[in-house]
Amino acid sequence: MKRVLLTGAAGFAGTAFRRFARGRYRIRCFDRVPVAGERDVVVGNLTDQEAVFRAAKGCDAVVHLAAIRDDADFMTQILPNNIVGTYNVYEAARQAHVRKFVFASTMQVDMGYPREKRLTPDMPPLPTNFYAASKVLGENLGEIYANRFNMSVVCLRFGWIAVRSDAEWEGLLGRVPPWETITERDLNGILCAAVEAKGVGFVILPAFSRNARHRRDLSLLKKALGYYPREDARELHRRGKFFTSRPGPRKRS
C-alpha cells in the first residue's frame, strides 16, 4: 500500500480526501494543527524545512493541498506559505526520492479571461490576484522538478469544491456558479487517479465535475489520468444536494 504525504490534511479538501482514501493508502498527514483521528501526523508549518523534509521521508507520493487561499497579504501570507512553502514541499519530495507529486492549483489562474471564453491549460495564465499568481508559480516549479529531476507532476486546477451535506448547504446554495464546481466524489476520484497515473511526466489539468465541460476540455483528464468526471454539479445544485466551499483547498499550511 502506498504511503501518501497529504499536506493541508486538516483542511476542507484534505479531510474529504482522507475519508475517501482510508484503506487505499497509508496517509501521512501534514498540517499546522493536529489532525483528529489520525496517527501518522507531522505538525508544522510549510516554512519549516526540517518538518517538511521529515514528513516526506519514506513516502511514495505527495498530494500538496496546503495553501493560504484567496487574495491574502502577499508578504506575510502568500509568500511564506504558497511560494516558499510550496518550494519546500517540492524539494522535500526530491530529496526523499518521491516520484509522484500532485499539486493543487486553482481555476483562478485563468479567471482574467472573459467568462464566455472556452479555456484550456495551454493558454497563458491570466491571474487576477496574488493567490492565483502563487499557484502559477507552483505549476512552474512542478514543470522544473519534472524536467530536471524526473518526477511525475500533476497540477490540478480545481474549481469550487462542493461537499454534500444535509445540514449545511442551505443558505450557501446559489452563491457560486454550479458550472465552476467539483463535487466531493470527483475531487477524490481525480486525486486518486493522479496518484495512480503512470507515464505522466508533467501535466496541467482542469479539475471539475461534468458540469464544466462546456467551458473546459475535461477529456484531458481521461487522456492523462484515465478518469472522466462522474457527477453533474448543476443537477446536484438544483436538487440541493451539496453546499460549496471556496475554490481550492482550505487555509492550512
pLDDT at residue 93 tops 60: yes
Q: Cα 48 vs. chain centroid, distance in angstroms?
A: 21
| Residue 186 neighbours by CB distance under 10 Å | 28
* CATH number, position 73: 3.40.50.720
pLDDT at residue 12 tops 90: no
Alpha carbon distance 218, 180 (integer Å): 12
Residue 57 covered by a domain: yes
For residue 157, which of 102, 85, 224 has the smallest C-alpha distance?
A: 102
pLDDT at residue 242 tops 50: yes
pLDDT digits (tens, 9 = 90+) for 94-148: 999 999 999 999 999 999 999 889 999 999 999 999 999 999 999 999 999 999 9
Q: Give the chain's domain count.
A: 1
**Residue-wise burial string across 42-53, b where 16 or more C-beta atoms lie within 10 A, e elsewhere:** bebbbebbebbb
More confident residue, 70 or 242: 70
Q: Output the CA torsion 122→128→130→131 (10° steps).
A: -60
Q: What percent of the chain has pLDDT over 70?
A: 87
What are residue 78's DSSP bridge partners? none
Residue 65 covered by a domain: yes
Residue ranges making up the domain that contains 241:
3-247
Residue 17 covered by a domain: yes
**pLDDT of res. 170:** 45
Helix 130-149 crosses helix 85-95 at what angle (to 10 degrees)? 20
Residue 134 covered by a domain: yes
Residue 144 covered by a domain: yes
Residue 30 covered by a domain: yes
pLDDT at residue 34 tops 80: yes
Residue 252 covered by a domain: no
Alpha carbon distance 99, 94 (integer Å): 8
Residue 253 covered by a domain: no
pLDDT digits (tens, 9 = 90+) for 191-207: 999 999 999 999 999 99
**pLDDT of res. 142:** 98
pTM above 0.85, yes or no: yes
Q: Which residue bears the cell 507520493?
A: 61
